[in-house]
Structure 1
Amino acid sequence: MGIAGICLIRLKQLRPRLLPALLGFSSENAAHRIAVEWEEHGQHREGVYIPRRDTSSQFNILIGGRLFPGVHHHASFQVREEDEFFSVQLASDDRETRVTVEARVASHLPEHSIFASLEEASAFFEHGSLGYSVTNQVGKLDCLELRCRNWKVEPLQVTKAQSSFFEDLRRFPSGSAKLDCALLMRAIRHEWYVREPFSSTGSEGSTKSVHVPTGSP
């Protein structure tokens, strides 16, 4: 089996690391992510392949794929938070992405989950800190590493979930994609590190850091 998902994230105080939080900006974002594994210099690596990024921020679109990794598409977001209930709807301007999620905080993962425990699910996603995003250049993927200063997940009970990506029968034949679980992360302080891009015709995975923004979702 394979594991994929949609990361719905509100970024707050996003800015270069040396600037004060007052100068940061906020945005709603979505990233479709597919868990991947590979061998690099004889070592086993884990990360995610990101075929699609959507954002409410025109600034993210402007710098995405230029100063910041990954091409970003503009989308409208409707977000509602009430006590322990969360609702997110998004629709991209190009009509390629439509997502609806409604969920509330739960005490445990669904019984049908492939993860045996919340701790196992948390560890799995924490290891996927390297993200390789689609670019406008064939054969090239931009790379971004996530480093969290604190890591904590909570289980969610999903009451409604719709996705144009996972419901597309051209990508996923009927019955081949099933909802496993949903996880919530709150007030996570973190930093993003841009890494050398992956190229199908060259080297990949350098640990050179070329840009360091920071923020908290």
Structure 2
Amino acid sequence: MVAPQLRAEVERRLLLTWRADPDVVGRLLPEPFRPQLVDGAAVVGVCCLRLGAVRPRGLPAAVGVRAENAAHRVAVVWDDPAAGERTGVWVPQRHTASRLVALAGGRLFPGRQARARFRVEETDDRVHVAVEGADGTSLAADVDVVPELLGSALFADLDAASRFFEAGSTGWSAGGPPASGADHDGMRLETDAWRVEACRAREVRSSLYDDPRAFPPGTARFDSALLMRRVPVTWTPLAPLPARPVVAPA
């Protein structure tokens, strides 16, 4: 079943980013993806996203749903036979507070969605998000909104970070049950109102990136945080991406 094009408003999108060892990250990726590198480092993170008025294109905003969501992301590159090297993100985990989104994950909404409990406190100048997944995944972030992006080892400034994430607006996730070998499902985020703000982190904790079994000590370090607010978006489904390399005829 092909997912419909979706319309929504990004009420709040907090992008938390770690710089990571590319060899460690590469072992976590399925074919045909490779880590996208910035100055030799892989880029991984979590997107904490509250969407409003989510509905199939053509329906009025009044019938849309509102949901808190979180997606673990890895910046990746892959080879397209027609367009050459492409950039985007691989999404190994998605969590949602919405029962509807969880039930419709992979059909109406992109990717499989696990249920989670979200606790959010936010003002114009500060955002706190805590996520506790039914599968044991946990995340906590407390950030201040600031005028400039400072202290990042990946990005020289806010403009550089904004360009990087805007260019990686295509997301891929597993198209079938785990280890099924099914082709990957893709969605592309589109907006003509892209804008992000810089944040300074007071505290960030992740059960994935802090786990020494997945990321041995020193192989994943928190780098930076960005915030997007009140931006209208469209998600467009893409043709499935083969989960195995395409072999050209001899």
- Whether TM-score is above 0.5 comes out as yes
Partner of residue 104, structure 2: 63
Match of 1:174 in 2: 217
Which of 217, 221, 229 is equivalent to 1:186? 229
Structure 2 CA distance for aligned equivalents of residues 28 and 167 of structure 1: 23
The number of residue pairs the alignment matches comes to 202
Distance 1:118 1:136 in 2: 37
Q: Which residue of the partner structure matches residue 200 of structure 1? A: 243
Q: Kindly indicate whether the alpha-carbon contact (under 8 Å) linking 1:53 and 1:73 is maintained by their aligned counterparts in 2.
A: yes
Unaligned runs of 5+ in 2: 1-40
SS at match of 1:60: helix
Corresponding residue number in structure 2 for 1:209: none
Secondary structure of 2:229's partner?
Answer: coil
Alpha-carbon distance in 2 for matches of 1:66, 1:15: 13
Q: Are 2:57 and 1:14 equivalent residues in the alignment? A: no
Q: Separation in 2 of the partners of 1:202 and 1:65?
A: 23
Aligned residue number for residue 114 of structure 1: 154
Displaced runs of 4 or more, over 6 A: none
Which residue of structure 2 lines up, in the alignment, with residue 211 of structure 1? none
Identical aligned residues as a percent: 39
- Alignment partner, residue 194 of structure 2: 151
Indicate the residue corresponding to 2:113 in structure 1: 72
Structure 2 distance, partners of 1:171, 1:14, is 34
Partners in 2 of 1:87 and 1:54 — Cα distance?
Answer: 17
Specify the alignment match of 1:49 in structure 2: 90
Question: Offset of 1:39 from its aligned partner?
Answer: 1.7
- CA–CA separation in structure 1 for the residues paired with 2:163 and 2:52: 24
- Normalised TM-score (structure 2): 0.77
For 2:108 and 2:53, how far apart are their aligned partners in 1?
18
> In the alignment, residue 98 of structure 2 is paired with which amino acid?
S
Distance, in Å, in 2 between the alignment partners of 1:68 and 1:111 is: 35
Shift of 1:201: 4.1
Q: Which has the higher contact order (CA 8 A, sep 6+)?
A: 2
One-letter identity of the residue aligned with 1:34: V
Q: TM-score, normalised by structure 1?
A: 0.89
Shift of 1:202: 7.3
